[in-house]
Chains A and B, each alone.
Chain A
Amino acid sequence: DTEVTQTPKHLVMGMTNKKSLKCEQHMGHRAMYWYKQKAKKPPELMFVYSYEKLSINESVPSRFSPECPNSSLLNLHLHALQPEDSALYLCASSKTSTYNEQFFGPGTRLTVL
């Protein structure tokens, strides 16, 4: 299994809603990443988890709250988002944070109304 899965595929939420994005991998990877990507732009790193510990937070606003309950699962909790937060949210994983290759999931397309 060389797949990173993300749910939901699409999400529409209001600015007062609370929602969560989910990312799962069963490759035994111990590093997991959240990226935000605007249309026709490169991904921007948001968070890195290494061995279930938050290792990098790229100064992301607190309305985004990551969680890594176990080595296979990564969540991104969303609360009080702004319309400018509408984007594609990509999850990726890597064997370890020092390993070469990151495997990306298909992403969740988020629209904030």
Chain B
Amino acid sequence: AQTVTQSQPEMSVQEAETVTLSCTYDTSESDYYLFWYKQPPSRQMILVIRQEAYKQQNATENRFSVNFQKAAKSFSLKISDSQLGDAAMYFCAYRSGDAGGTSYGKLTFGQGTILTVHP
């Protein structure tokens, strides 16, 4: 079974600074997808960024980028120029590539990291 570990229960950052959230995972699969989801206090879960395991290039979405180290099974999220609206709980999630068609898109989530942004 796959596991996802977020070792930082809480992080804080000053507005306009950069912060990195850590995520490691364990899997024996070669085909999988990794995600970072954001859940602000209003509770709606929003996809921040995705990474396909077969892609060597790290994904980037505006101020959000990942450092994907496949051999180390590490998938960290870097938030640049932090904004007050970035304050939220961030979840790292794993999805099997599911060549056998049995996982039906099941997401395995880490425990989450609460990010506080200070003005």
Binding site for B on A (CB under 8 A): 31, 33, 40-43, 45, 48, 50, 55-56, 88, 90, 92, 94, 96-107
Contact = CB atoms under 8 A, between A and B. Distances in A.
Contacts of A106: 42-44
Nearest to A9: B43
Interface of B: 33, 35, 37, 42-47, 50, 52, 89, 91, 95, 98, 101, 104-107, 109-112, 114
A97 B105 contact: yes
Contacts of B101: 98
B104 A104 contact: no
Contacts of B95: 100
B19 to A, nearest CB: 19
A101 B36 CA distance: 11
18 contacts: A41-B111, A42-B91, A42-B110, A42-B112, A43-B45, A43-B91, A43-B107, A45-B106, A48-B104, A56-B104, A100-B95, A101-B35, A101-B47, A101-B50, A102-B107, A103-B47, A105-B44, A106-B43
Contacts of B50: 100-101
Nearest to A90: B45
Contact of B109 (A43, A88, A107): A43
Given A101-B50, A107-B43, A42 B111 contact: yes
A101 B46 CA distance: 10
A100 B98 CA distance: 11
Given A98-B105, A101-B50, A40 B44 contact: no
A27 B104 CA distance: 18
B75 to A, nearest CB: 15
A94 B93 CA distance: 15
B112 A40 contact: yes
A102 B44 contact: no
A94 B91 contact: no
The 9 closest A-B pairs by CB, nearest first: A42-B109, A104-B45, A97-B104, A97-B105, A48-B104, A55-B104, A106-B44, A56-B104, A107-B43
